[in-house]
Chains A and B, each alone.
Chain A
Amino acid sequence: MEHNDMRHKLSEYLDGSITAQEQAEIEAHLRTCQECETALNDLRKTIEQIKAIEEVEPPAWMTQKIMAKVRAEAEEKKSIFQRLFYPLIVKQPIQAVAVLFLAVTAFYIYQDIHPTAKYSESPLTTTQELALKKEAPPSAIEQGKQNEADESLLRSKQAPQAPGYKALDMKQEYEAPASPKLKDQIASSAPAPAKPAEQLVPEKKVMTAEKRAAAPLALSKAEMQEQNAAAGAAPPMEAKREVAVQTRKTKTALTADSNACFSYEPTVVTATGIISKRDFPGRPNYENIAKGDEREIYWVLKLNKTACVIGNKENALNEPEPLITDIQLVLDSAQYDKYRSLLNTPVAVTGTLFHAHTGHHHTPVLIKVSEMSPRGK
């Protein structure tokens, strides 16, 4: 090894990173070369000085600051990825609670909208719907506004709405005063979903009151559908004839037996019961005859069954009446003469209903009579 090579190797020699042979060569050379020995001493002292340099201490806040940054970054990462991939042990309870919450919410929403949903199948006006929801039993008899050109389509649409289904709901939700007999009647009509389709034929509309009583809800359904057909673009021939007879004025026949709701004018309705003459207090206070009020005598139809009347959005006066038992008749003098023989007998009264709005109106709902006939005739 040359002198210069020796000099270069001194650094490694001090580090002990040379082979044994190199070490021996260098040590032999050092014994003869003063310059190399001096260089080695200087190098050793330099290294010692370098190693002796004091180390600086990190500031006290260093760890905290580093970890704060690291944590902030880890959180950020979590927010993007780990929230999507929470372990099942965390996710499952959250999902279970969420599903339970949705189920309960859905149940209450369903309960809340259920009655409306049922009636929305029949073409009710908004006011009528409200009236139904608030205080009246549901009705199958409403003024038809829905155009259904295809009668078969109409049937298929109406078929699932079994009259019995409706009747049962009515019974549960509204029909506290209904007699056991009526309930039986309602129940018996339940398993006859096919009947309304048959009763769509317009001739069925002129059924007698007795027939209506036998299948009141089915009839109501049929009549409602008939109205739909009448308003439709292409009603069958028979329906057209019927429409002509009624001069396009929708007519709904209804019996009190059905326990369905009447509609106010202009809908023509038929109610059954017994007519009687009654005294009512008149002017000046319309309170008590004994206390001096004038006597007013009116004919009143005592309904066979309680009924209800749904509100009329076109006339605010015609407010819904959830429960009526009597209807005051509004007749002209000729009608009083004509129908006097029907007093205190079962009759069917046809006309338009309106709500009481003067002191002379003594029942909540009155009927402007157009026709009256002995019941069963």
Chain B
Amino acid sequence: MQRETNSSIDLSNRAAGNNAPALDSDAAAVALSQTGDLDAFELLVNRHQKRMLNIAFRLTGDYDEACEVVQDAFLSAHKSIKTFRGDSKFTTWLTTITMNLAKNRLKQMKSRKSHVAFSLDDPIQTDDGQMTMDPPSKEPSVLDQMVQRDVRTQVQECIKKLDHAFREVLVLRDMQEFSYEEIGSMLKMRAGTVKSRLFRARDMVKDCLKSVMGEL
């Protein structure tokens, strides 16, 4: 129990650190970017691209699509950087843009998928008549089974299975360590809603992991 308490205190401290309205270390670079200084903007790109890519990747589940999202996000940020008044941190503002673009990208991806004109299972015409393709076994391959044993892969799979509304809260809080207030501001929802969704998201991942791996 003592260990648990310490652990909770650690988490508490970290959360408190996130919540503290620290001075935005990007302020200077942002101010320069607002005057058209592209070098300053490049600094911001270098500083934040990895974080934005990971957010986009966790939300879309596709690395290439995530790269596209990040490019669009920075381009969009540059276009409207003069409208950024510094009410929030630059990271929060940039993440909001990335989240919105990732959401739109996900919709497009789903739409593309649903508009595929044919299925691989469709029979194909050959000289010898119609032939049905032999679909691969739905059982995980040997390789897959090996990979599935990897806990991290399982965690990722479980996160992927979450609805977008839960996934985005989980990604922002547990993977990117934004505060409840920041998440609330990004997703335009109250901190209470964020907490509630986060609990649900974590609980679902826990259940998912338990179902796949047995004991945690």
Contact of A51 among B8, B151, B174 (CB under 8 A): B174
A63/B45 contact (C-beta < 8 A), A47-B174, A49-B155, A51-B175 known: yes
How long is the Cα–Cα vector from A167 to B38 in the complex, in angstroms? 68
Nearest CB in chain B: distance from A332 CB, A = 93
In the complex, chain A residues whose CB is within 8 Å of the CB of B14: 16
Question: Contact mask B7-49 → A, CB, 8 Å, 1/0?
Answer: 1110111111000000000000000000010100110011001
Q: Flag the segment in B73-81, B91-99, B129-137 that touches A.
A: B73-81
In the complex, whether B206 has a CB less than 8 A from a CB of chain A is yes
In the complex, whether B185 has a CB less than 8 A from a CB of chain A is no
When C-beta atoms are compared, the residue in chain A nearest to B5 turns out to be A27
In the complex, chain A residues whose CB is within 8 Å of the CB of B38: 67, 70-71, 74
For chain A, what secondary structure do more than half of its interface residues adopt (helix, strand, loop), or is it mixed? helix
In the complex, chain B residues whose CB is within 8 Å of the CB of A149: none
Q: Flag the segment in A52-60, A209-217, A303-311, A321-329 that touches B.
A: A52-60
Structural contact, A69 and B202, CB atoms closer than 8 A: no
Nearest CB in chain B: distance from A155 CB, A = 66
In the complex, chain A residues whose CB is within 8 Å of the CB of B174: 47, 50-51
Structural contact, B7 and A44, CB atoms closer than 8 A: yes
In the complex, whether A337 has a CB less than 8 A from a CB of chain B is no
Structural contact, A11 and B202, CB atoms closer than 8 A: yes
In the complex, whether A377 has a CB less than 8 A from a CB of chain B is no
Structural contact, B202 and A66, CB atoms closer than 8 A: no
Structural contact, A67 and B45, CB atoms closer than 8 A: yes
A49/B45 contact (C-beta < 8 A), A43-B206, A55-B54, A73-B78 known: no
Structural contact, B1 and A30, CB atoms closer than 8 A: yes
In the complex, whether A65 has a CB less than 8 A from a CB of chain B is yes
In the complex, chain A residues whose CB is within 8 Å of the CB of B7: 14, 44
In the complex, chain B residues whose CB is within 8 Å of the CB of A52: 152, 155
How long is the Cα–Cα vector from A141 to B7 in the complex, in angstroms? 116
In the complex, chain B residues whose CB is within 8 Å of the CB of A173: none
How long is the Cα–Cα vector from A169 to B58 in the complex, in angstroms? 89
When C-beta atoms are compared, the residue in chain B nearest to A45 turns out to be B216
How long is the Cα–Cα vector from A42 to B213 in the complex, in angstroms? 13
Contact of A15 among B11, B36, B50 (CB under 8 A): B11
When C-beta atoms are compared, the residue in chain A nearest to B36 turns out to be A74
A17/B15 contact (C-beta < 8 A), A49-B155, A74-B38 known: yes
In the complex, whether A181 has a CB less than 8 A from a CB of chain B is no
In the complex, chain B residues whose CB is within 8 Å of the CB of A56: 53-54, 57, 63, 66
Structural contact, B74 and A16, CB atoms closer than 8 A: no
In the complex, chain B residues whose CB is within 8 Å of the CB of A49: 151-152, 155, 209, 216
A50/B205 contact (C-beta < 8 A), A12-B199, A17-B180, A56-B53 known: yes
Question: Contact mask A61-87 → B, CB, 8 Å, 1/0?
Answer: 011011101110110000000000000
Q: Give 7 A-B pairs besides A51-B174, A52-B155, A53-B159 with Cβ atoms closer than 8 angstroms.
A: A12-B199, A17-B195, A44-B4, A58-B53, A66-B70, A67-B42, A74-B78
Ranked 6 nearest A-B pairs via Cβ: A16-B12, A11-B199, A46-B206, A45-B216, A50-B174, A66-B74
A-B contact pairs, 14 of them (CB 8 A): A15-B11, A15-B12, A15-B180, A27-B5, A43-B203, A44-B4, A47-B202, A49-B209, A53-B156, A56-B54, A56-B63, A58-B49, A70-B38, A74-B36
